[in-house]
Amino acid sequence: MMEEGNIIKIAGPVIVADGMRGAQMHEMVRVGDDKLIGEIIELEGDTATIQVYEETAGLKPGEKIERTGGPLSVELGPGVMGSIFDGIQRPLEVIKELTGDYIARGVDVPSIDKEKKWTFEPIAKVGDKVTGGDILGQVQETSAVVQKIMVPPMIEGHIKSIVGKDQFTVEETIAVIETDDGDKEVAMLQKWPVRKGRPYAEKLDPDIPLITGQRAQDTFFCLAKGGAAAIPGPFGSGKTVTQQQLAKWADADIVVYIGCGERGNEMTEVLTEFPFLEDPRTGNPIMDRTVLIANTSNMPVAAREACVYTGITIAEYFRDQGYDVALMADSTSRWAEAMREISGRLEEMPGEEGYPAYLASRLAQFYERAGRVTTLGQDPKQASVTVVGAVSPPGGDMSEPVTQNTLRICKVFWALDASLADKRHFPSIDWLQSYSLYVDNITSWWQENASDEWRANRDQAMVLLQQESELEEIVQLVGPDALPDSQQVILETTRMLREDFLQQNAYDEVDTYCSPTKQAGMLKTILTFHENASAAVARGADVKDIAALPVKEEIARMKYIPEEEFEAKNKEMQEQVVTQCSEV
Amino acid sequence: MNADIKTREYTTVSEVSGPLMIVEGVEGVGYNEIVEIETPTGENRKGQVLEVNEDLAVVQVFEGTDDLNTLNTKSRFTGETAKIGVSDDMMGRIFNGTGQPIDGGPEIIPDKELDINGNPMNPASREFPAEFIQTGISTIDGMNTLVRGQKLPIFSGSGLPHNDLAAQIARQAKVVGTDDDFAVIFAAMGITHEEANFFMKDFERTGALERVTVFMNLADDPAIERILTPKMALTTAEYFAFEKNMHVLVILTDLSNYCEALREVSAARDEVPGRRGYPGYMYTDLAGIYERAGRIAGKEGSITQMPILVMPQDDITHPIPDLTGYITEGQIVLSRDIHRKGIYPPVDVLPSLSRLMSGGIGDDKTRDDHSGVSDQLYSAYAEGRNLRDLVAVVGEEALTERDQSFLKFADNFEDQFIRQAKDEDRTIQETLDLGWKLLTVLPKTELKRVKDEFIEKYYPE
């Protein structure tokens, strides 16, 4: 019989209980007659403050608190992939079968199916010396994902026995490991406390880009595998579409998508759309490599606080198997607000804008769980967790604490801009404000894999865009005709860069994904235009004639050319640019 | 056992402050439970438990705390959270903000008692909204398409005709190709008698009243009562939509007043305030209202929400519109500038947005060129508006021919596309054709957002 306490105070999602001496910080508890799930967040003498992950209406002082003896943990093993969970890893599909279309309280469901049998193929052999992170065998979980079944961290010894290829549930013993403290039985299922990062051997420098197929991000403000990026933007600036595009097309093996305090319909959209989208690299349905965590805005606020941890722990588990994992959190502001709400209920002294003083350290701890690492085990693999966090600054004001504290940690900043969104310039990434500190790290990758002129072209394009913003100021004062011809050419080129390169249509079949080679090719064509047009103007050609060149229209439509036809057509286009400019 | 709980009555009010009272010496009181209060003068009021701390209960009194005292005010704890009795007969009736009939008709005999807070809809049970609703208003249908199950607020300013627009939408909204009418649930929070009358008269005039249910909390009704009003309305909407298979359009007006009431309670409780004094949990609270729109897989009905909120000082970054915009699936923004030009409805399309548009339009739903035309109108109008600033400085003659055409386009767009009469119900075909007609002002090469095939198919000769 577990020890019990009694509720003495209830205020929203926070309750206080006495008779809790001996309970641990962050221990998971069952609250009241409905056995709601809660977590201890403060201890003082005999009393414990508990945040409850479910609606607390109807709870009364005097109801019992049941301790579970362990921290809030996630269950890891085959059965995680392709599922949709709530913030504390309860599968929403199963809850739907149990309680109907609305989520009732106190539902007790296992996170992953304990009955289902998986075909386990052993890889390790009896007598093998193993340590934490070594691979015992594997399970083909979905078309896209083979789960490696690992020795849990902290276990070291020799394999005493291991099962043959057969069907097992996640809880059945598949191997026995003889260790210094006796024999340990290992099943496919692992539990891990969400607030503790899973161990790895060593952190590496991120020098491989995470290719997303999005031109503005990949070419100008690229993210590296194992890096962290922030997407702040006011509402309506396209954060969610940007996040979803990354979840769809990023070249990660596994995607964990956290809908933290966002709209229910957005999660439904992912659920209905992803099974029918093909991964451009493998041809498998994208859903087969995706784990969804949905804690929508109307679901209990404390579970919103937990959901980012649930998500990143799942991401780390796949990283440990040797995969490149991308995690999208939409939106970290809602997570921070959940912290603020709980902190307010605890009557803690508020920091900036009512957020708790520990906001910065919690954000840092979370983003630091991203990284490219070598995994544990005797045959270490290089794997990564990349984190992309959306930030929803109130009123679009980037000086607010969540944005500012996030920027201190993230090395990539994709600033979304409302005025671009108003013009339907999507993705509305502001090219003057955004930055990536990984450009130097990943230059060699791009030069080897896409084009050896990549870096020079990228930098030149950035300079042109910078010049445009200066020229625009002059145009605002004196009109475009007052500019010298050479500068008018710059404006022609940058308009092309903005409209024909940076703008990308997420809803167009072809344009939704753009490969690195196509990106490099498109950029090259635009810069070829710039070079030849500038030369023509220097010879004395009229800018108006340059502006009227028929090839411009073709350039405008090059984003819609399918990948396989692109190279040939692009070459033709570049030749036309040269001829047409020379004929002016 | 429930009978026992129902007799728990106390006269131990120890403190009355603002909308709150504190009762001591209570036992077995549940969080959020409803309290029936009898004032010393014998009047009955309702309250709700906001916090329980051992034997102290903090109660928020919906009808105001006037006349309460600490001597003989009786509070009876009902042991139940706030509920509303719902039935078919509610259609065509008028209730006050706490769900009591005020139209002189008979009491409602409930078919069911439902908790007004509801439970969150399981995201795995939702169906993605994708059925086009034709409102007959070009700026909405053509560029910010509304679909069944969407929550699309109107962001307005004081003195702008948001009520006319909402009434027009309620009148004209239909799903093309079906003859199902929308049932309308109208929840008024703190609006004036005049505004309420406007809606009632409009419903009456068009014969819509029999498919409208009204919840009315007016400006002179107790402010705290309006915290209940939208929840009452949405619980009723859920009953109609998901148990009676109806398509329900919920109009909530004005959410700003609701938020003021939240702030009042929060301040009375000495809570740590968030931005501009609004409570830190306002996002969660508003989400509890807006997220109740939607569709459920396998169910006929739907709830479409159209909340109206008046932005203080027309400021879209104010916490109320800001938090709303982060939850709702887009927004229709009304503009004072366009209103001043005498254009109705004064919808400013640039900051307006419908997030569910792409799923509700296209070949089999509206027309194949819809998305292209919409994008093209957006970018052309944005460019035209930009150029207006430039013209103010350098004069129109300094512009290139191309730029002049954009300028002309922006003027025509406002005058013909945005402007329409209060009873003008345009079909989506009319709206799109009008869009094409306006685009002919521009050089054909500038139509970069529309695919060539559509230019060939629809470009007016």
* pLDDT, mean over chain B: 91
Residue B282 forms contact with A (CB below 8 Å): no
**Nearest chain A CA: its distance from B441 CA (Å):** 18
The answer to which of B56-60, B173-177, B353-357 has the lowest mean pLDDT is B173-177
* Run of H or E residues at A565: helix A563-583
Q: Which residue among A294, A423, A475 places its CB closest to the CB of B123?
A: A294
* pLDDT tier, B3 (very low <50, low <70, confident <90, very high otherwise): very low
Q: Which residues of A touch B389 (CB under 8 A)?
A: 476
d(CA A273, CA B184): 31
**pLDDT tens profile B105-131:** 999 999 999 999 888 999 999 999 999
* pLDDT tier, A193 (very low <50, low <70, confident <90, very high otherwise): very high
Q: Which residue among B51, B299, B375 places its CB closest to the CB of A424?
A: B375
d(CA B11, CA A273): 58
**Nearest chain A CA: its distance from B285 CA (Å):** 8
d(CA B288, CA B121): 10
**Nearest chain B CA: its distance from A12 CA (Å):** 7
For residue B314, cis peptide bond before it (omega within 30 degrees of 0) = no
Given a cut of 70, whether residue B1 has pLDDT beyond it is no
Prediction ipTM score: 0.87
pLDDT, residue B54, reads: 87
% pLDDT > 70, chain A: 100
Q: Inspect the interface and report whether the beta carbons of A235 and B242 lie closer than 8 Å.
A: no
* pLDDT tier, A27 (very low <50, low <70, confident <90, very high otherwise): very high
Q: Which residues of A touch B390 (CB under 8 A)?
A: 475-476, 479
**Nearest chain B CA: its distance from A444 CA (Å):** 35
**pLDDT tens profile A467-515:** 999 998 888 888 777 889 999 999 999 999 999 999 999 888 899 999 9
* pLDDT tier, A2 (very low <50, low <70, confident <90, very high otherwise): low
Q: What angle do CA A264, A237, B340 make, to 5 degrees?
A: 110
Instruction: Please report the residues numbered 134 through 153 in chain B whose beta carbons come closer than 8 angstroms to any beta carbon of chain A.
Output: 149-150
* pLDDT, mean over chain A: 92
**Nearest chain A CA: its distance from B429 CA (Å):** 22
Q: Inspect the interface and report whether the beta carbons of B291 and A480 lie closer than 8 Å.
A: no
Residue in chain A closest to B357 (alpha carbons) equals A507
Given a cut of 70, whether residue B5 has pLDDT beyond it is no
Q: Which residue among B120, B326, B393 places its CB closest to the CB of A477?
A: B393
The answer to which of A100-109, A174-183, B176-185, B187-196 has the lowest mean pLDDT is B176-185
Q: Which residue among B359, B393, B403 places its CB closest to the CB of A476?
A: B393
Residue B359 forms contact with A (CB below 8 Å): yes
Q: Which residue among B281, B390, B452 places its CB closest to the CB of A476?
A: B390
Q: Inspect the interface and report whether the beta carbons of A424 and B379 lie closer than 8 Å.
A: yes
**pLDDT tens profile B228-282:** 999 999 999 999 999 999 999 999 999 999 999 999 989 988 888 888 889 888 9
Q: Show the 3-state SS of B183-241.
A: EEEEEEEEECHHHHHHHHHHHHHCCCHHHEEEEEEECCCCCHHHHCHHHHHHHHHHHHH
Given a cut of 80, whether residue A212 has pLDDT beyond it is yes
pLDDT, residue A1, reads: 44
Residue B325 forms contact with A (CB below 8 Å): yes
pLDDT, residue B2, reads: 42
Q: A142: which DSSP letter?
A: S
d(CA B299, CA B207): 28
Closest CA to A403 of A417, A387, A390, A412: A390
CB neighbours of residue B396 within 10 Å: 13
Chains A–B, number of C-beta pairs less than 8 Å apart: 222
Q: Inspect the interface and report whether the beta carbons of B31 and A59 lie closer than 8 Å.
A: yes
Cα–Cα distances in angstroms (integers) from residue A341 to residues A296, A344, A399, B324, in the given order:
16, 5, 20, 18
A198 class by beta-carbon count within 10 Å (0-12 exposed, 13-18 middle, 19+ buried): buried
Contact between residue A122 and residue A144 where contact means Cβ atoms under 8 Å apart: no
Residue B273 forms contact with A (CB below 8 Å): yes
Q: Inspect the interface and report whether the beta carbons of A353 and B128 lie closer than 8 Å.
A: no
Residue B443 forms contact with A (CB below 8 Å): no
Q: Position of tokens 């880009």? A: A209
% pLDDT > 70, chain B: 98
Residue B105 forms contact with A (CB below 8 Å): no
Residue in chain B closest to A348 (alpha carbons) equals B272
**pLDDT tens profile A297-335:** 988 888 999 999 999 999 999 999 999 999 999 889 999
d(CA A338, CA A301): 6
**Nearest chain A CA: its distance from B167 CA (Å):** 26
**pLDDT tens profile B143-161:** 999 999 999 999 999 999 9
CB neighbours of residue A442 within 10 Å: 25
CB-based contacts of A544, cutoff 8 Å, min separation 6: none
Q: Which residue among B317, B403, B445 places its CB closest to the CB of A395?
A: B317
pLDDT, residue B7, reads: 58
Q: What is the mean pLDDT of residues A358-378?
A: 95
Q: Which residues of A touch B359 (CB under 8 A)?
A: 269
Closest CA to A68 of A94, A29, A106, A103: A29
* pLDDT tier, B59 (very low <50, low <70, confident <90, very high otherwise): very high
Query: Which amino acid, residue A135?
Result: I
d(CA B253, CA B386): 33
pLDDT, residue A240, reads: 86
Residue A571: both structure tokens together: 């070459």
Cα–Cα distances in angstroms (integers) from residue B92 to residues A104, B89, B250, B428, in the given order:
31, 8, 14, 30
* pLDDT tier, A387 (very low <50, low <70, confident <90, very high otherwise): very high
The answer to which of A268-272, A277-281, A415-419, B368-372 has the lowest mean pLDDT is A277-281
d(CA A578, CA A556): 17
